[in-house]
C-alpha cells in the first residue's frame, strides 16, 4: 500500500503541478510573441526613419543647388536690361569713327570698355559668332547670304551681339548664316 500511495502522490503532484506549469509555459509563449511583435515594430520604425533621413538629405541637396543657382543667376534680369546700353555704345563708336571727332570716339570707347569690364566681373561674356558653326542655342538667324570665304551653315555676319551669363544664354546673337559659295547660274 505504501507503494500505491507513492504512485498516487506522484500522480497527484503531476496533476497539481500541471496547471502552474501550463501557466508558466503560456506566459513564456506570450512573452515571446510580444517580443517578436516589438522587434517587428522596431524594424518598421527604423526603416521609416532611414527613408525620412534619405529624403531629407535629398531635399537639402536640392535646396542648396537652388540657392547656388539663385545667387549665380539672381542678377540675370538687370544684366539683360544693361545689354542694350552696350549695343548703343558700340553703335555710337562705329558712327563716330566714320566722322572726324576722335575725342568723342575715345570717350565712348573707354565708357564701353568699362561697362563690358563690369559685366564680365558678374560672369557676362560675349558669344563668338562670325566664322563659327551656326548654333540655334546661341545664334538667332535673321537672314542667309552666300559667301565665298565662310563655309555653309556658318555665321557670316553679326547684327547684334549675343551674351552668356556663366553657362546660360542671356541673349542670342542675331546673325546672318552663310549658304556657301554663290552659284554661278
Residues 4 and 50 in one domain: yes
Nearest residue to 179 (alpha-carbon basis) of 157, 153, 155:
153
The CATH number linked to 160 is: 2.30.22.10
DSSP letter at 153 equals T
Domain termination residue (choose one: 73, 93, 113):
73
Show the cell assigned to 152.
555653309
Structural domain including 158 reads 123-185
Q: Are 80 and 170 in contact (CB under 8 A)?
A: yes
Residues 117 and 127 in one domain: no
Domain termination residue (choose one: 13, 40, 73):
73
Show the cell assigned to 120.
564680365
Beta carbons within 8 Å of 143's beta carbon, 6+ residues apart: 176, 177
pLDDT (tens digit per residue) in 38-88: 999 999 999 999 999 999 999 999 999 999 888 888 888 888 888 888 888
Domain termination residue (choose one: 73, 91, 108):
73
Residues 148 and 96 in one domain: no
Residues 67 and 20 in one domain: yes
Residues 118 and 128 in one domain: no
The domain total for the chain is 3
Residues 36 and 54 in one domain: yes
Residues 59 and 89 in one domain: no
Residues 67 and 8 in one domain: yes
- Residue-wise pLDDT tens for the chain (185 aa)? 555 555 555 555 545 554 555 555 666 778 889 999 999 999 999 999 999 999 999 999 999 999 988 888 888 888 888 888 888 888 877 777 777 677 777 778 888 888 888 888 888 899 999 989 999 999 999 999 998 888 899 999 999 999 998 888 989 999 999 988 877 65
DSSP letter at 161 equals -
Q: What is the pLDDT of residue 58?
A: 95
Place of cell 556658318: 154
Q: What is the pLDDT of residue 8?
A: 54
Amino acid at each position: 500500500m505504501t507503494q500505491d500511495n507513492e504512485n498516487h502522490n506522484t500522480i497527484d503532484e503531476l496533476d497539481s503541478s500541471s496547471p502552474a506549469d501550463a501557466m508558466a509555459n503560456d506566459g513564456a509563449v506570450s512573452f515571446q510573441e510580444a517580443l517578436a511583435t516589438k522587434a517587428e515594430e522596431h524594424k518598421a520604425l527604423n526603416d521609416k526613419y532611414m527613408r525620412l533621413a534619405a529624403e531629407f538629405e535629398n531635399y537639402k541637396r536640392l535646396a542648396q543647388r537652388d540657392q547656388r543657382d539663385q545667387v549665380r543667376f539672381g542678377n540675370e534680369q538687370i544684366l539683360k536690361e544693361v545689354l542694350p546700353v552696350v549695343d548703343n555704345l558700340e553703335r555710337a563708336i562705329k558712327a563716330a569713327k566714320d566722322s572726324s571727332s576722335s575725342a568723342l570716339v575715345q570717350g565712348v570707347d573707354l565708357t564701353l570698355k568699362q561697362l563690358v569690364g563690369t559685366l564680365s566681373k558678374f560672369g557676362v561674356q560675349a558669344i563668338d559668332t562670325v566664322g563659327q558653326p551656326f548654333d540655334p542655342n546661341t545664334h538667332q538667324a535673321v537672314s542667309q547670304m552666300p559667301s565665298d570665304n565662310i563655309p555653309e551653315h556658318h555665321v557670316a555676319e553679326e547684327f547684334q551681339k549675343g551674351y552668356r551669363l556663366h553657362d546660360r544664354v542671356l541673349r542670342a546673337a542675331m546673325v546672318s548664316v552663310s549658304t556657301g559659295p554663290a552659284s554661278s547660274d
